[in-house]
Amino acid sequence: MLKYRTGLKDMPSYDVVERDWQIKVNANECNMNLPPMVEDRLMGRLSRVAFNRYPNEEYDALREQIADNHKLQKENVLLGSGSSEIIEKLFYCFGGTKAKKIVYPEPSFSMYRIYAKAAQATGIPVALEEDFSLDIEKFVNTVNEEKAALAVICNPNNPTGTGYSVSDIEYIADNIHGNCALLIDEAYIEFYGRTAVGLLSSHPNLIVARTFSKAYGLASARVGYMLASTAIVTMIEKAYMPYHMNVLSLATADIVYQMRHEYVPRIQMMIAERKRMSAELGKLPGVTVYPSETNFVLIRYAKAAKLNEYLESKGIGVRCFGDAPGLKNCLRISMGLREENDQWLDAIRQFVEGRA
Ligand code: PMP
């Protein structure tokens, strides 16, 4: 018998059905590849990469650029292979024993529960209300009663789409005990705008995590970052192996970040599509649509599993949550291109109107 790490056998996996979808709207990705101008710049840049060297220079260049944009120092920025790696490292660094509590709302990003287990910490979910709003008093009280080491809020929240106000985040940051770090996972912030970054200077325990995977369409490059005090960054950095980012991803993210104005029209388009699809879905009998501030929309429908099967049979991949807490009969659909959205909407319409 192999002697795996304690708890590994019982760890749940990230359960996403992947196949060769005709329309892929199951992972909140951007359904457009690089804008042509970005691609041109990137090709030039890649031809100048020093493949024989460890990528210090590229790591620092991206860090500095991100820091400048947020009026911070590069020592306030830590990069990761997707924000996944950042979040996983934060759980690892604030976890380590069952006595370490990590508090997060539920339903929220399903990996929080898994990272808590992987970090051998105790994950403490705080149930969202029926409409997925967050009872901030309940959240703060749980963090304080449990003497949590880390509290996490995903804003706007995946998979519900709910946006929380900066004043709510500030209230939480002000009222949780002083030995608790507060992570705001802003994976979808470009679709919402109400960031917690402005609270960093007055809240030394605050951490903001961002990703290039969603609005910037770089899911394959695996680049994310966190912003925090130099003290936190210095500690979390210890958990990384040396040169943990590869030069191709760093150079790509560097160009994309320099040219981020190119992404404004497509972000606006995704927001417009989310509004259009939310309105259309809301007209369908028996379908509840939750307000979203992201590039996806969550719906509840009594025959969600059957609807999901029907969509699958048509080559349409959406995210079905099965029996996940708080998400019974829920499907999450990310915004594709306009034509793709028309197609999946048409398929859903056929099903709920009994024409499938
Ligand atoms: N946080 C949230 C809320 C997410 O939805 C995701 C991706 N599904 C991530 C973090 C991780 O994204 P990535 O690792 O691609 O940066």
Residues 130 and 182 reside in one and the same domain: yes
Residues 69 and 216 reside in one and the same domain: yes
Please give the structure tokens belonging to residue 144: 């304080």
The whole domain housing 87 covers 36-258
223 lies in some domain: yes
Residues 139 and 267 reside in one and the same domain: no
Point out the ligand 1 atom lying closest to the alpha carbon of residue 213.
15
Residues 110 and 145 reside in one and the same domain: yes
Q: From ligand 1's centre to the CA of 47, what distance in Å?
A: 30
CATH number at residue 288: 3.90.1150.10
Q: From ligand 1's centre to the CA of 16, what distance in Å?
A: 13
Q: From ligand 1's centre to the CA of 279, what distance in Å?
A: 26
CATH number at residue 118: 3.40.640.10
Residue 236 has pLDDT above 90, yes or no: yes
Residue 232 has pLDDT above 90, yes or no: yes
Give exposure, 243-268, as e/b (b: 16+ Cβ within 10 Å).
eebbbebbbbbbbbbebbebbeebbe
17 lies in some domain: no
Q: What is the pLDDT of residue 356?
A: 85
Q: What is the pLDDT of residue 244?
A: 95
Q: From ligand 1's centre to the CA of 3, what distance in Å?
A: 31
| 74-84 tens-digit pLDDT | 999 999 999 99
Q: From ligand 1's centre to the CA of 211, what distance in Å?
A: 7
Residue 89 has pLDDT above 80, yes or no: yes
Protein residue closest via CA to atom 1 of ligand 1: 187
Protein residue closest via CA to atom 4 of ligand 1: 187
ipTM over 0.95: yes
Residues 283 and 252 reside in one and the same domain: no
71 lies in some domain: yes
Confidence label for 222 from pLDDT (cuts 50, 70 and 90):
very high
Residues near ligand 1 (Cβ within 6 A)? 28, 82-84, 109, 154, 158, 185, 187, 211, 213, 219, 224
Of the chain, the percentage scoring pLDDT greater than 70 comes to 99
Q: What is the pLDDT of residue 261?
A: 95
Residues 271 and 305 reside in one and the same domain: yes
Q: What is the pLDDT of residue 14?
A: 72
User: Which of 210, 232, 258 delimits the end of a domain?
Assistant: 258
Describe the crossing of helices 56-69 and 247-258 by its angle, rounded to 10 degrees: 30
Q: From ligand 1's centre to the CA of 355, what distance in Å?
A: 36
User: Which of 258, 279, 306 delimits the end of a domain?
Assistant: 258
Selection from 292, 286, 296 nearest residue 329 by Cα: 286
166 lies in some domain: yes
User: Which of 258, 274, 292 delimits the end of a domain?
Assistant: 258
| 56-68 tens-digit pLDDT | 999 999 999 999 9
| Chain centroid offset of residue 78 CA | 16
Residues 223 and 274 reside in one and the same domain: no
Residues 169 and 216 reside in one and the same domain: yes
Average pLDDT, the chain: 96
For 244-249, which contacts have Cβ atoms below 8 Å and span 24 or more sequence positions?
244/80, 244/81, 244/85, 245/55, 245/58, 245/59, 245/79, 245/80, 245/81, 246/55, 247/49, 247/50, 247/51, 247/55, 247/58, 248/46, 248/49, 248/221, 249/81, 249/221, 249/222, 249/223
288 lies in some domain: yes
5 lies in some domain: no
| 157-202 tens-digit pLDDT | 999 999 999 999 999 999 999 999 999 999 999 999 999 999 999 9
Residue 314's Cβ-side half-sphere holds a number of Cα atoms within 13 Å equal to 19
Protein residue closest via CA to atom 13 of ligand 1: 82
CA atoms of 167 and 336, how far apart (whole Å): 32
Residues 187 and 134 reside in one and the same domain: yes
Residues 347 and 216 reside in one and the same domain: no
Q: Which residue has the higher pLDDT, 356 or 207?
A: 207
Name residue 299's beta-bridge partners: 289, 331
Q: What is the pLDDT of residue 7?
A: 85
Mean pLDDT of 227-255: 97
| 6-52 tens-digit pLDDT | 888 888 877 677 789 999 999 999 999 999 999 999 999 999 999 99
Residues 234 and 100 reside in one and the same domain: yes
Question: How many independent structural domains does the chain possess?
Answer: 2
15 lies in some domain: no
Residues 110 and 173 reside in one and the same domain: yes
